Amino acid sequence: MKLGMRKLIILAVVALVIAACGDTGGGADTTAAGDTTTSAGGDATTTAGGGATTTAGGGEEGPIKFGMLIGVTGDYAPYYDVSKAGADVAIAEINDAGGVLGRQVELVVVDNKSTVEGAVQGFSQVVDVEGVHALGGPESDGAIANLQAIKDLQLPTICPACGTSELDEAGGDYIWRITGSDSDGGLIAAQFARDAGYTQVAMLVQNTEGASAPADVFKQVFTEIIGGEVVADVRFDPGQSSYQAQVDQAFADEPEVVYVGSGFEAGGVILTEWQRRGYGGGFLFSPDMVVPEIAALTEQGVEIGDGVARAAIAAYDTESPAYESYAPRYEEIIGEQPTPGLYDANQYDQYIILALAITAAGTTDGPAVAAVITELLNAPGTAVYSYADGVAALEAGEDIDYHGASSSLDVNEFGNLASPNFGEQNIVDGQWTQVATVELDPSLRP
Amino acid sequence: MSGMILFLVGVVTLAGIYAILAMILNLEAGWAGMWDLGLAGLVAVGGYVFIITTQTTHEDVVFAPGWPMWAGVIAGSLASGIAALIIGIPSLRVRGEYFLITTLAFAEVIRQLSINLGTITRGTVGFNQFSRPFEGVVSGSAYRWFLLAMVWVIVLLVYLLMRRLGHSPYGRLLRGFRDNDPVARSLGKHTNRQRIQTFVLAGLMYGAVAPLYVWFIRTVTPSLFTAEVTFVTWTALVIGGIASFRGPVIGAAILLIVTEAAALAQGLGEMAVVLASVRFIVLGLVLILVMRFRPEGLAKERDAFARASRRVEA
Amino acid sequence: MQNIIFGLVTGSILAIATVGFSMIRQTEGFINIAHGQLLTLGAFLGYFFVATVEMNVFLAGLAAMVLVGLIGVLLAIVVFRPVAKSGPLAQLFTSIGLAYLLFGLIRVIFGANVTFFPTGFGSRLDLGPVNVTVGEILIVVVAAVVVGLLALFLTQTRLGTWIRATASNPELARLRGIPVNRVSYAVWFVASALAGLAGVMVGLIGNVHSELGWTQILIILAAAVLGGLGSIYGVLAAGLLLGLAMDLSALIIPTSYRTVVAFGVLILGLLLRPQGLFAAKGRREA
């Protein structure tokens, strides 16, 4: 089989050449001003000497690398542009203020193809090949798949939009998530139902983790704690071209409101079919539905505006100086205001946090950086609202308490937001708009 | 550069896993002529039974005995074998393209069950944060080399097993049935029994090697066992050469290295989506070109067995 | 009862998609996985004509049909003709390769986002226990008309007769002087056009995105096999049957099992009649 072996060798060599070219600059997206030499960061994925664990993080020269492991392609692709914009605003802010520890910051974006397998391979690429010092951007399933590796490698990681309940108690040492848990999302939806006086709801839920987890919490809270009735619990697979039977089933008993926990592809189909059949009634949406594509449906005649559809989503604190400084810069890139449903401000905050943490720790060493993150997000400390302010305070020897553009970012011992802000959103004039803030009622926690 | 090598370790490990899957597929498809489009389902059964019986991290399932790993591997293998038996008995009454769609149907059913039987499988969330063999002994990034070695040792073992099977009377009989050989045909009613035996054997093997995939990905969710696993395995087999010995291994190695290299070279920014789609275009072109110019694949069955028969005659 | 309406709509669309698929199987002799991608292409082209060129939806559908039909012929000449002598397995994998290729191209040209046809479905009619919109009636009617025209074409025209002759016995057809090349082009055009039409309908009912091809091809395959790979009318019946089964089953079992039901019906059907429900006497061996 010499012919086969020869072809194999040729192909392997070609692949290695392509990959090598990808390594030195072609593959990494850079926002730093400087050149993109890969520093000693490439070698330092294993510590010298016999430690039982190996730490991530690069050497002490050259740019500091922040990884962004995110769905550039695949199901999460629609979120990529806005996420990248949020991150870019942060990186620019950091570098304009002089970088971190005098070094420029470089953003290394790696595509996880929106799959678990892609997240595992992408993680290896971002850690092994690129040698990042810290990581941001992952989605729920990728974060969970790489959770053990993150702990093994002691890589400070911030998850901007991971809602998964699996992280309710798994973080705090090396991983933080700066958005509300799906458990809370489901709880708030139940709270809406209770406050509006609904006693009978139906549910239309997509069979994926991000949708079914909060839906299950909603159901549990609504039936067991509030004492309401779920007249229909309809589950469906994403990716189908028609959901008429499911929609019909959900509306069959004329519930007062229907909870829709779904991604927007299926959600859009469901809503157009609902309109077509003229079922009427109201909706409670899960956070994944709070995206422009759904709001745009009102312009196609789907009448879900002005309170017919209500959603609860982690709200941005629009009064905060951090937000007020961030919003115009983001708008300049994307041309729209920041949107909680797209988590762009979270993407911004994660990198400010990491930059401040490295500054506070005085080193890029993983464990040292990780050790200060919770501290610098919580009181006590001087409240700071930007990277530059934070650095100034740290240099003055003060403890800081960073309040971000997405929220005040106070975290608990598990790396979760201690008391996330939620806001109610309705579609007004074809856009998702916050109409009220919501305080989570702790008596509803199961 | 060592970072790049670590990354390649992952790629080559995954290539090895698919090489094993492709060799098993070769047994049932290449030699026995059973076009199985449902192997992802059998791998899923093995993987899930393995993790359910061995994991100790999650308490919210009805059945979590926390068995030692070797017991879990055996359990997974047996479960897949039984699944293959259940699937095989009705499916093997039909041939060719019909068998193809029936096995695909069963794989989809298995995937749905893994989502819906949440009290056993933890539904869409699945299992994570579990331990892997010898993790206490081999640490950190050295573990990836260990996993690579383990996978490729098994590749070698499976390869030798397949050679043994291929040259055996059993193997010749299988290929005879596939080719409608009159001698084989004269054995008449044993046809179905042989095919079921082969299918169950394949099932046992898929189940036994599923843990390798689980240890590599480090999480078990329904989304891991989609038809894509089946298609990648088939593509690897077809490119490498159906019914040969080295074919599956060569095909898997080439396919995975090329696609992962394309991912690295992808670059980002506005061109990212475009370039990611290029991966599919490249994959499609490779398949089309191989079928056009070398439909038997890179390694030919004729040659694989010709050498053998020369040895026999010598 | 309402679910019967749903099932009819789903089934009609599935039938259109599968008839074309089955024609290829019969006359060209292999399973064409790329059929799903032609469907997707039809959906995107239809959307493009309606949303960007602002055509009337019927004209857009027609335009998409014709365009996809022509593309199908082109692909047949460039991609499939050269592999024809290598056997059905090679052709099957060529079609898989082509499916990937088209999928990638569609994503490059049209993007990876999800869009919805900006087309209303007209007013809702309440007919006793069920309600149906004008648009849905039109879809079923168009599907029926197209099938009727196809039947007429196959039985009343010379080309159609040649197609049927080639389908049942290609060697004999060639011997009798039937221009098999022309027949082949005609079949590819018709089959691809039907796929394109089905794509427009799928897009209208649901949404338009690049993954459509992969989900649809599985059900098409199920309908084709269930109907008996040799019979066009069997395929029609199978398509309607599966559509009805999927939507009616929602009344009894959890709807997350919808595609499972389709496959369950398929398995059951094959157990009862391993050659398919309406197998013709075609000579193509599986």
Which chains have at least 3 CB atom pairs separated by less than 8 Å from chain B?
A, C
* DSSP states of B22-51: HHHHIIIIIIT----S-HHHHHHHHHHHHH
Of residues A277 and A190, which shows the higher confidence score? A190
pLDDT digits (tens, 9 = 90+) for B265-292: 665 555 666 777 777 888 888 888 888 8
**Total domain count for chain B?**
1
> What does A330-354 look like in DSSP terms, one character per residue?
HHHHHSS---GGGTHHHHHHHHHHH
A100 pLDDT tier (thresholds 50, 70, 90): very high
Rounded CA-CA distance A352/A360 in Å is 12
Residue B180 has a pLDDT of: 65
pLDDT digits (tens, 9 = 90+) for A33-47: 332 333 333 333 333
Q: Kindly report the pTM of this predicted structure.
A: 0.81
Q: Is residue B52 part of a domain?
A: yes
Query: How distant is the Cα of C56 from the closest Cα of chain B, in angstroms?
Result: 31
CA distances from B60 to A147, A183, C249 (A): 19, 16, 31
Which one is predicted more confidently, B212 or C163?
A: B212
In a domain, B69, yes or no: yes
Domain holding A247: CATH number? 3.40.50.2300
Residue C276 forms part of a structural domain = no
Judged against a pLDDT cut of 80, whether residue A148 lies above it is answered with yes
Contact A248 C113 (CB under 8 A): no
Q: What does the alpha-carbon distance between residue A358 and residue B84 come to, in Å, rounded to a whole number?
A: 54
Q: Reduced to 3 states, what is the DSSP secondary structure of residue B10?
A: helix
Residues of C in contact with A276 (CB under 8 A): 121, 124, 133, 135
Residue A48 reports pLDDT greater than 80: no
Q: Kindly determine whether residue A207 and residue B129, on different chains, have CB atoms separated by under 8 Å.
A: no
- Cα Rg of chain B (Å, integer): 20
Residue A56 confidence (pLDDT) above 50: no
Structure tokens at A306: 């002005």
Q: What is the mean pLDDT of chain C?
A: 85
Helix (H) or strand (E) holding A200: strand A200-206
Instruction: Look at residue A182 and tell me whether its pLDDT is greater than 90.
Output: no
A71, A188: one domain:
no
For residue C248, the model assigns a pLDDT of 86
Say which residue the tokens 């002759």 belong to: C165
CA distances from B270 to A29, A77, A84, B275, B278 (A): 11, 12, 11, 9, 14
- Asked whether the beta carbons of residue C258 and residue A297 sit closer than 8 angstroms, the reply is no
Distance from first CA to last CA of chain C, Å, rounded? 38
**What pLDDT does residue B158 have?**
93
Q: Which two tokens stand for residue C95?
A: 């079609």
Report pLDDT for C286: 36
**Integer Cα distance of B147 and B10 in angstroms:** 9
The whole-angstrom distance between C250's CA and the closest CA on chain A is 6
Q: How far apart are CA C177 and CA C272, in angstroms?
A: 39
> Is B133 domain-assigned?
yes
Which residues from chain A sit within 8 angstroms of residue B7, using beta carbons?
Answer: 124-125, 128-129
**pLDDT score recorded for residue A367:** 94
Give kind and range of the element (H or E) at residue A133: none
Q: In chain A, how many domains are there?
A: 2
Average pLDDT over residues B167-188: 70
What's the confidence (pLDDT) of residue A128?
Answer: 85
What was the pLDDT predicted at A19?
38
Domain count, chain C: 1
Q: Which residues have C-beta within 8 Å of that of residue A246, sequence separation ≥ 6?
A: A204, A234, A236, A270, C250, C255
Residue whose pair of structure tokens reads 């009619």 in the numeric block: C125
ipTM for the predicted complex: 0.83
Choose the weakest-confidence range: A87-101, A361-375, B21-35.
B21-35
Helix axes of A344-361 and A387-395: crossing angle, nearest 10 degrees = 20
C176 domain-assigned: yes
Helix H or strand E encompassing C205: helix C180-205
Neighbouring C-beta atoms of residue C126, cutoff 10 Å: 9
Q: Which of residues 81-100 of C touch B (CB under 8 A)?
A: 82-83, 86-87, 89-91, 93-94, 96-100
Q: How far is CA C115 from CA A210, B222, C204, in A?
A: 22, 27, 10
- Whether residue A314 is predicted with pLDDT greater than 60 in this model: the reply is yes
DSSP helix/strand/coil, C32: coil
When comparing pLDDT for B4 and A127, which is higher? A127
Question: What pLDDT does residue A18 have?
Answer: 41
- The answer as to whether C226 is a domain residue is no
* C233 in any annotated domain: no
Binned at pLDDT 50, 70 and 90, residue A137 comes out as very high
Q: With an 8 Å Cβ cutoff, is B263 touching chain A?
A: yes
Residue B191's pLDDT band (cuts 50, 70, 90): low
Half-sphere exposure of B276 (CA within 13 A, CB side): 20
Distance CA C257, CA C259 (A): 6
pLDDT tier at B185, thresholds 50, 70, 90: low
- Residue B15: which pLDDT band, with cuts at 50, 70 and 90? very high
Residue A385 placed within a domain: yes
How many CB atoms are closer than 10 A to CB B271? Answer: 11
Q: What is the average pLDDT across B195-216?
A: 92
User: How far apart are alpha carbons C15 and B158 in whole angstroms?
Assistant: 44
Which residues in A lie closer than 8 A to residue C255 (C-beta atoms)?
A: 234-236, 245-246, 249
pLDDT of residue C282: 42
Are A440 and A298 contained in the same domain? Answer: yes
Query: Do A59 and A174 have their domain in common?
Result: yes
Which pLDDT does position B1 carry in this prediction? 62
Best mutation target among C1, C3, C5, C6 (most A Cβ atoms within 10 Å) is C6
User: Contact, A372 vs A360, CB < 8 A?
Assistant: yes
Domain of A274 in residue numbering reads as: 183-314+426-444
Confidence category of residue B305, pLDDT binned at 50, 70, 90: low
User: Quick one: which of A425, A428, A426, A430 has its CA closest to A298?
Assistant: A430
Residue A271 has pLDDT above 70, yes or no: yes
The CA-based dihedral angle spanning residues C225, B79, B39, C245, taken in that order and rounded to the nearest 10 degrees: 30
Task: Inspect the interface and report whether the beta carbons of B260 and A146 lie closer than 8 Å.
Answer: no
Q: Does residue B173 register a pLDDT over 80?
A: no
Q: In Å, how far are A138, A178, A411, C189 from A90, measured between CA atoms? A: 17, 15, 20, 54
Residue A54's pLDDT is 38
Average pLDDT of span A289-301: 86
- Measured distance CA(A104)–CA(A87) in Å, rounded: 15
Alpha-carbon gap, residue A83 to A113, rounded angstroms: 15
The pLDDT of residue B156: 94
Q: From CA A162, how far away is CA A53, in angstroms rounded?
A: 26
Please name the member of C31, C259, C263 whose beta carbon is closest to the beta carbon of B97: C31
Find tokens 């012929």 and name the residue: C73
How high is the pLDDT of residue A11? 47
State CA B67 to chain mean position distance.
Answer: 25
* pLDDT beyond 50 at B310: no
Tell me what pLDDT residue C191 has: 95
For residues B14 and C224, what is the distance between their CA atoms, to the nearest angstrom?
35
Asked whether residue C262 is assigned to any structural domain, the reply reads: no
> Does the residue C183 lie in any domain?
yes
Q: Which of B85-94, B110-119, B177-186, B234-243 is predicted least confidently?
A: B177-186
Is residue C225 included in any domain, yes or no?
no
In order along its 286 residues, chain C shows pLDDT tens digits of 788 888 899 999 999 999 999 999 888 888 899 999 999 999 999 999 988 888 888 899 999 999 999 999 999 999 999 988 887 778 888 998 999 999 989 988 988 777 888 777 777 777 777 778 888 888 999 999 998 998 888 888 888 888 888 877 778 888 888 888 888 999 999 999 999 999 999 998 888 988 888 888 888 988 888 887 666 778 888 889 888 988 888 888 777 777 778 888 887 887 777 777 766 544 343 3
Please report the DSSP string for C15-26 in residue order.
HHHHHHHHHHHH
Per-residue model confidence as pLDDT tens digits over C3-17: 888 889 999 999 999
Within 10 angstroms of residue C258's Cβ, the number of other Cβ atoms is 23
Contact C247 A293 (CB under 8 A): no
- The answer as to whether A23 is a domain residue is no
Residues of A in contact with B250 (CB under 8 A): 1, 4-5, 7-8
Q: How many helices (H) and strands (E) does chain C have?
A: 11, 2
- Do A98 and A212 lie in a common domain? no
Residue C245 is assigned to a structural domain of this protein: no
Determine the average pLDDT of the residues in A73-85: 85
C35, C20 in Cβ contact below 8 A?
A: yes
Give the C-alpha separation, C145 to C143, whole Å: 5
pLDDT for the residue numbered A43 = 30
Cα separation of A409 and A394, whole Å?
Answer: 18
**What is the rounded distance in angstroms from the CA atom of residue B240 to the CA atom of residue B175?**
18
Helix or strand holding residue B186 (H, E): none
Q: Is the confidence at residue A73, as pLDDT, over 80?
A: no
pLDDT surpassing 60 at residue A14: no
The DSSP-derived string for chain C is: -HHHHHHHHHHHHHHHHHHHHHHHHHHH-S--TTHHHHHHHHHHHHHHHHHTS---HHHHHHHHHHHHHHHHHHHIIIIIGGGGGG-HHHHHHHHHHHHHHHHHHHHHHH-S--B--------EEEETTEEEEHHHHHHHHHHHHHHHHHHHHHHHSHHHHHHHHHHH-HHHHHHTT--HHHHHHHHHHHHHHHHHHHHHHHHHHS-B-TTHHHHHHHHHHHHHHHH-TT-HHHHHHHHHHHHHHHHHHTTTS-GGGHHHHHHHHHHHHHHH-TT-TT--------
Q: Which domain holds residue B192?
A: 2-225
CA B152/CA C159 separation, integer angstroms: 57
Distance between A342 CA and the closest CA of chain C, angstroms: 15
A119: closest chain B residue by CA: B217
Cis before A380 (ω within 30): yes
